[in-house]
Structure 1
Amino acid sequence: MRQRLLAALRHHAARLAQVWGAGGSEPAPRLRPVDAQDLGAMGRYLMDLGTERRRLRFHGGVNPSERLLSQMTRVDGRSQLALVAVVPAGEGELIVGEACCQLDRSRRCAEFAISVAQLWEGSGLARALLEALLRSAAASGMGRMACEVLADNARMITLLARTGFEPEPVAEAGVQRWQISLAEPR
């Protein structure tokens, strides 16, 4: 599974270089699978997102607890996939985006979520993360991918529509559900 995930990430490395251009003032983010050692960096990333971005990502006011961070950084690679976008920072890396998915109990559909740091908003990073996640999920045998989006999250709704997701009937007020079949070529 990890090999398929790495292959999908390598595929997107060239796309990232095209989107941000070589030699720009900011280093292009590198996509990679999340690791348990990312716990501290993930905590800093989520705090730096700010209250509004965390509300859009988690559908409510969330402060990153140790339990949440552990769930986000310790994934099994079979029923859960998680990616981070990182840029060099000092002696390490700074997380500037994340995407994850988890199979539902029926094992037919993977629910996913994604977030990108404000500095990278509009850069194509969210789309690159989503496409890498879709390819990895399809390679692992997941049949469908879905997400619930707050109705006021216009950027995410636009990304989903442009990526081929279809809206489903509204499940609850203020929330939209979108899905896509992973059987179709990407």
Structure 2
Amino acid sequence: PLVADDLGVIALDARIVVSAVREDRKRYSHMSIMPYPTRQIRHAALPDGTPVTIRPVRPEDADMQQAFVRNLSEESRYNRYMSSIKQLSQTMLVRFTQLDYDREMALAVVRDDGAGGEEQLAVARFITDPDNEGCEFALEVADHWQGHGIGAMLMDALFAAAREQGLKMMRGEVLASNKGMLRLMRKLGFAIESHPEDRSLNNVTRAL
């Protein structure tokens, strides 16, 4: 019931009905902007005992992300970006750190840098395909942290995040010359095929 006069309208009564959320409904799907996914934060230890945190990337990580890319070797930068870039452009930096968590995810492995800040050791990300069935991923690990089990640990976390989004397939492109990455892909169960249009690339796919 409503009462209306020249001053406006007043509702005299209201009722709210709360029902159970459907099991197939994506978390926070009712929101136009998904909040920072704190549930994805977890603490772990590398095989050598180094304590690390795996967490979603935040906008304030821009400087840390830029420093991470600058400190990569030329080979690692080329393997990841397939170009000879020295650092990320401002556009790329914004794109990589200001995320729409509803359709993409970027997880960073960080550790305490001993000065009250964090050092990024690796980052992995995926972007959801328009059909919301699959996604494309990318992974990069700092040169001096390669071979410490970080890649497999981080990809397992990325798989879990993609499954939570309801995705069924993960795919990516890997340079044929990037033998270390291809070994990791085989270890993680990815199928590897030559790119049909570029023999310098391999397509890798994995069911989630």
TM-score bucket (shorter structure) = 0.7 to 0.9
Matches within 5 A, 1:1-186: 6-7=38-39, 9-10=41-42, 13=43, 16-17=44-45, 19-21=47-49, 27-62=50-85, 63-89=87-113, 90-171=115-196, 172-182=198-208
Instruction: Provide the C-alpha distance between the structure 2 equivalents of 1:28 and 1:135, rounded to a whole number of angstroms.
Output: 21
Higher percent of residues as helix: 1
User: Which string of whole-angstrom CA distances, capped at 9 and with x for unpartnered residues, describes residues 135-177 of structure 1?
Assistant: 1101111111011000011111011111111123523220000
| Residue aligned with 1:105, SS | coil
Quote the residue 1:24 is aligned against.
none
Instruction: For structure 1, list consecutive stretches of 5 or more residues without a partner in the other structure.
Output: 22-26
8 Å contact 1:9–1:132 — kept in the other structure?
Answer: no
Q: Which has the higher contact order (CA 8 A, sep 6+)?
A: 1
Counterpart AA for 1:84: A
Q: Which one has the largest radius of gyration? A: 2
Report the TM-score when normalising by structure 2.
0.77
- Structure 1 stretches of 4+ with a deviation exceeding 6 A read none
Number of equivalences: 173
Q: What is the deviation of 1:103?
A: 1.1
Q: What is the deviation of 1:6?
A: 4.7
Name the stretch that deviates more: 162-171 or 41-50: 162-171
8 Å contact 2:73–2:143 — kept in the other structure?
Answer: no
Q: Percent identity?
A: 27
| Residue aligned with 1:49, SS | coil
RMSD: 2.0
Report the TM-score when normalising by structure 1.
0.85
Instruction: Provide the C-alpha distance between the structure 2 equivalents of 1:124 and 1:59, rounded to a whole number of angstroms.
Output: 24
Instruction: Provide the C-alpha distance between the structure 1 equivalents of 2:73 and 2:133, rounded to a whole number of angstroms.
Output: 33
